[in-house]
């Protein structure tokens, strides 16, 4: 399925649109039960902390339970200032309206291998009967090298087909020890959104969206089997694209 590319005038406008999408997809569950959302770190934390709580204060929002789970995490025991889970706990979770979501994050105290095994088991418990967890919505970022979650170019984990969570101890981006969802989980989601801002990402955005490489970058390997793939870009990240895009307010 081809990706739908939306371009926004600024990170703030992108953040508002992303928050609106999350709120709309949660509301669309209606009385169908839990809404499952996979979260990445980096700039997404700040975007969601600023824009998602206001989007969820609308009176039409149903009080359906949410499941929040991390797409990847840095593994460092103790009070790690780089922990994605810590950033979400401090900046976003206290602002979310009731009912409080169920939150699943890797346990860094177990080390990378132990954390991956434990996180995988808890995800399977959260998605009973499913060989691969199917998230309603996954929010992904993009590195200048084309990595997403903690899946890096040329890394062995790009070939993983069995495990739903994997550990790595050789991340080219520090810290080296991490836990990540694998491509089978990313490609099973009902909707995947890449949220990308900044001029430094423009070359890799063009390479992924306009290229046809024999050995594609990790983010280019995210192609949901039966779901939809959306790219939300700010004007700076989209500046090198020549393909048709949907431009939003302010452009």
- Domains present along the chain, CATH in parentheses: 4-247 (3.40.50.1360)
Q: How many angstroms separate the CA atoms of 12 and 220, rounded?
A: 25
pLDDT in tens, 164-211: 999 999 999 989 999 999 999 999 999 999 999 999 999 999 999 998
Token pair recorded at residue 144:
């200048």
Q: Are 178 and 171 in contact (CB under 8 A)?
A: yes
pLDDT in tens, 58-99: 655 556 789 999 999 999 766 777 899 999 999 999 999 888
User: 10 burial class (0-12, 13-18, 19+ CB within 10 angstroms)?
Assistant: middle
pTM of the prediction?
0.95
Q: How many angstroms separate the CA atoms of 61 and 57, rounded?
A: 7
């Amino acid at each position: 399925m081809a990706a739908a590319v939306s371009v926004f005038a600024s990170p703030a406008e992108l953040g508002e649109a992303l928050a609106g999408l999350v709120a709309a997809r949660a509301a669309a569950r209606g009385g169908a039960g839990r809404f499952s959302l996979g979260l990445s770190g980096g700039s997404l934390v700040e975007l969601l902390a600023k824009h998602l709580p206001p989007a969820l204060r609308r009176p039409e929002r149903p009080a359906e339970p949410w499941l929040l789970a991390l797409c990847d995490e840095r593994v460092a025991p103790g009070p790690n200032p780089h922990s994605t889970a810590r950033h979400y706990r401090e900046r976003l979770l206290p602002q979310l309206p009731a009912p409080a979501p169920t939150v699943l994050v890797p346990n860094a105290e177990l080390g990378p291998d132990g954390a991956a095994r434990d996180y995988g088991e808890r995800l399977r418990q959260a998605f009973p009967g499913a060989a691969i967890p199917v998230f309603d919505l996954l929010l992904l970022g993009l590195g200048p090298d084309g990595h997403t979650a903690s899946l890096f170019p040329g890394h062995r984990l790009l070939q993983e087909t069995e495990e739903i969570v994997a550990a790595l101890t050789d991340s080219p981006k520090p810290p080296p020890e991490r836990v990540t969802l694998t491509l089978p989980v990313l490609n099973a989601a009902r909707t995947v959104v890449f949220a990308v801002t900044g001029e430094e990402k423009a070359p890799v955005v063009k390479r992924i969206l306009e290229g046809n490489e024999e050995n594609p970058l990790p983010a280019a390997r995210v192609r949901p089997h039966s779901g939809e793939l959306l790219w939300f870009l700010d004007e700076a990240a989209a500046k090198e694209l020549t393909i048709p895009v949907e431009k939003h307010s302010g452009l």
